[in-house]
Structure 1
Amino acid sequence: MANPAFLLFSLVISLFLVSCISSRTPSQRRADQIVKDEEKIVNGSRRGLQYLSCRTGNPIDDCWRCDPNWASNRQRLADCAIGFGKNAIGGGNGRIYIVDDNGDDDPVNPKPGTLRYGVIQTEPLWIIFARDMVIQLQQQLVMNSHKTIDGRGASVHIANGPCITIHDVSNIIIHGIHIHDCKPSPPGTIRDSPQHAGRWIESDGDGISIFASRDIWVDHCSLSNCHDGLIDAIHDSTDITISNNYMTHHDKVMLLGHSDAYLPDKAMRVTVAFNHFGEGLVQRMPRCRHGFFHIVNNDYTHWEMYAIGGSADPTIISQGNRFLAPNTRFDKEVTKRENAPESEWTHWNWVSEGDLMLNGAYFLPSGSGAGAATSYARADSLSARPASFVPYVTASAGTLTCRKGSQC
């Protein structure tokens, strides 16, 4: 157990750094300047606390980041998943595949050594990167099952084109990648396995689009400034964990559930944990439909419209989060119900337990099954730390600066 005085000191430093980040004036910036600014924040001030990475109370980081030999045992990361996506093993037990070619992207006949060639293979692969690189895709990156994209040890950007599509597959891990300035792609032919290339409709311009898939884990990524959502999960996707990510400069951040009329999404289960929702965000952190959503120990330092919203009777359990309401809003409600009168949504099970509300923030609860719902969240998702520790356990949210031979 860490010394209480040390934890208090760390918390004060974390709050100071968050306040510094929060004070930046939003502006319309070119995409390349956004990249530079976000890398400066992610790899600068927030990484200034990485010496605290061991025994932070963040169960994912405490599982692997204290090991200086992490680069020789990369697949141990697959044992560190928590929450509803805890069974996502990605390319665990598969061979290592090294991306050493970030040249022209060929969606139909990708070259060996490219990221696209790796993600379409039928065998389990743990995909790593030979060096720092920016990958600009010509069509959405359609992934096959049992793949891990592991950016540790390099600065890897998927940017300025279509981005990642997880469609009708399982066991995917995406870790340590910068994903930003994602754009829609036109209809076209895309290879999704060595044996098959087919016609795909246009993509929406999401950073990560999860469609009819399960056992998915997105961890320690930095996402910003995409055309549609940063992370969207729809069409009967389930057993997903979204953790330790740093999200900035975006309107509709995260959509979980296709539409009010799409009833198969009632089976959706998503854990959203240890993320930092930062500068320039507007809404949907997340926006939920139908399913069960455990939102735990996240740091909400910015939102313009609302933080957590939903429709179609989702169950939302908010535990141990830190909500700092914006000065720009008169109504500082964290939550927003859509597409239903109060007589209907008053029965939706939305629970706030142990959340820290700052600057007038408030969560409007509803429903009557709070006890059973929170017990279910603890049993199948994860236990929350006290909200006062949120700046501490999220201090390293986003991509990490990892070097071989030293703790990450």
Structure 2
Amino acid sequence: MECDQAIAIRRGIEASRQREAIDGGHPHVKNTFAHEPTIGAAARKKLGETVVIASGRSSAPKKSTEHEPAIGAVDDPEMVASEVSRVINASTARRDLGFLSCGTGNPIDDCWRCDREWLRNRKRLADCGIGFGRNAIGGRDGRYYVVTDPGDDNAVNPRPGTLRHAVIQDEPLWIVFKRDMVITLRQELIMNSFKTIDGRGANIHIANGACITIQFVTNIIIHGISIHDCKPTGNAMVRSSPSHYGWRTMADGDGVSIFSSSHIWVDHCSLSNCADGLVDAIMGSTAITISNNYFTHHNEVMLLGHSDSYERDKVMQVTIAFNHFGEGLIQRMPRCRHGYFHVVNNDYTHWEMYAIGGSADPTINSQGNRYLAPVNPFAKEVTKRVNTNHGIWKGWNWRSEGDLLLNGAYFTPSGAGASASYSRASSLGAKSSSMVASITSGAGVLSCRRGHQC
């Protein structure tokens, strides 16, 4: 299987180079919903049924309209980077002093993984985020929804008990799974706002079909699921809420597609081998954290920013922390445009073209990462400025602090250097890159059993 995947990846390298030579852009603007006639009251009532366990106080916000701009960018992203550094240091200091017997120095994990009663306290996870996506609460203020059915027979009228039925509801929901499942989606899984997909306690795969689309919504947490072998789908009707469905043109086959959305957190997922990107965020999306994930066997891993000409992506702010970029990866870990990107304490053990790339003047703040270069003597550089000459990119603010560069790896910095606020962040610093192995040791889907620490 790995050999087949490797062959498929390598066949895509030349096509990727050609795309980068043209623009380096995202191939398609995602489709929006065509408005359909309102369904009848009886049908809406049927679609509104939920399968739930344990009640909680629900404070469902008003549903955002499809064309509201994504809101969530902060005025001073350097202060958020400084806060990430502070919580990392606080967590590792407590570990050194023995306060956390199960601590790894990973502040997200040390916030909740020490709890043997995690099953009863699932929603504590929503208070453990860091970085730009730290305020994503998902379905914390809603009820639990138990997915009992792995099927996806009807994208317009999904059955209660299915994942699709859960994610389209208007109310906040914390979605869990009754048992192990492989969910093969016939069409994109269009998520509604204020949802958590929590795979802990079961072995959950979204695979071999369509995958997750987060479009014109806010407050989404995706945790503890495997997402792989995603395929292009579309030219079909798909429901986005109990009261609305619309026509979808062809999707690219991303694992997680984030489009004009905010307050998004993807944590402890395992992602591989999709038709397009593993995680893509475009069209003014912001307030995003991508953490503790395990990425493998893929060409164009992560695209952050739609195109060089789409200046609305200047609001984009993304934290990429504690991930393991593993075997079979080629490029785009991530590939950035316009916004501010904090890349902190990740483990890069494989790439074949480059690790971090960008265009259109993004700010890239790399702290405490471990970069292990490939054997190829022509692929030692961590960074790539895509189709931009030195006279332009020399002013882009790309910085490396405390990164561990192995096997000839080198990071080419640029820009005016540290601002005053960045200097304050640097005085704290991300944790030493020597601790990356420990901090990322649990990257990907965790094995969580009742009565035991995850």
TM-score exceeds 0.5: yes
Matches within 5 A, 1:289-304: 289-304=337-352
Determine if the alignment matches structure 1 residue 242 to structure 2 residue 218. no
TM-score normalised by length of structure 2: 0.77
Mapped to 1, the partners of 2:173 and 2:423 lie a distance apart of: 36
Mapped to 2, the partners of 1:30 and 1:346 lie a distance apart of: 35
Query: Any idea what the Cα deviations from partners look like across 1:332-383, whole Å, max 9, x if unmatched?
Result: 000000121110000000000000000000000000042346358779xx96
Mapped to 2, the partners of 1:389 and 1:374 lie a distance apart of: 22
Size of the aligned set, in residue pairs, is 362
AA of the residue aligned to 1:275:
N
Deviation, structure 1 residue 156:
0.2
Mapped to 1, the partners of 2:214 and 2:182 lie a distance apart of: 20
Deviation, structure 1 residue 385:
1.1
Query: Any idea what the Cα deviations from partners look like across 1:10-48, whole Å, max 9, x if unmatched?
Result: xxxxxxxxxxxxxxx9622599xxxxxxxxxxxxxxxxx
Aligned to 1:43: none
SS in 2 for 1:232: strand
Aligned to 1:281: 329
Mapped to 2, the partners of 1:376 and 1:231 lie a distance apart of: 31
AA of the residue aligned to 1:290:
H
AA of the residue aligned to 2:433:
A
Aligned to 2:442: 396
Where structure 1 has 5 or more consecutive residues not aligned to the other structure, the ranges are 1-24, 32-51
Structure 1 pair 399–195 and aligned structure 2 pair: CA distance change class (3 A): same
Matches within 5 A, 1:105-254: 105-254=153-302
Mapped to 1, the partners of 2:216 and 2:164 lie a distance apart of: 17
Mapped to 2, the partners of 1:304 and 1:53 lie a distance apart of: 38
CA contact (8 A) 2:152 2:162 kept: no
Deviation, structure 1 residue 171:
0.1
CA contact (8 A) 1:297 1:319 kept: yes
Query: Any idea what the Cα deviations from partners look like across 1:63-117, whole Å, max 9, x if unmatched?
Result: 0000000000100000000000000000001100000001243110000000000
Query: Any idea what the Cα deviations from partners look like across 1:196-250, whole Å, max 9, x if unmatched?
Result: 0111221100000000000000000000000000000000000000000000000
Deviation, structure 1 residue 400:
0.3
Matches within 5 A, 1:48-127: 54-127=102-175
Structure 1 pair 363–373 and aligned structure 2 pair: CA distance change class (3 A): farther
* Structure of greater Rg: 2
Structure 1 pair 215–387 and aligned structure 2 pair: CA distance change class (3 A): same
TM-score normalised by length of structure 1: 0.86
Determine if the alignment matches structure 1 residue 28 to structure 2 residue 4. yes
Mapped to 2, the partners of 1:97 and 1:388 lie a distance apart of: 41
SS in 2 for 1:189: strand
Q: 1:318 aligns with which of 357, 362, 366?
A: 366
Mapped to 1, the partners of 2:284 and 2:101 lie a distance apart of: 35
Matches within 5 A, 1:250-265: 250-265=298-313
Q: Which runs of 4+ in 1 moved over 4 A?
A: 375-379
SS in 1 for 2:422: helix
SS in 1 for 2:119: helix
Query: Any idea what the Cα deviations from partners look like across 1:246-283, whole Å, max 9, x if unmatched?
Result: 00000000000000000000010000000000000000
Mapped to 2, the partners of 1:332 and 1:105 lie a distance apart of: 47
Query: Any idea what the Cα deviations from partners look like across 1:275-300, whole Å, max 9, x if unmatched?
Result: 00000000000000000000000000
AA of the residue aligned to 2:315:
A
AA of the residue aligned to 2:418:
A
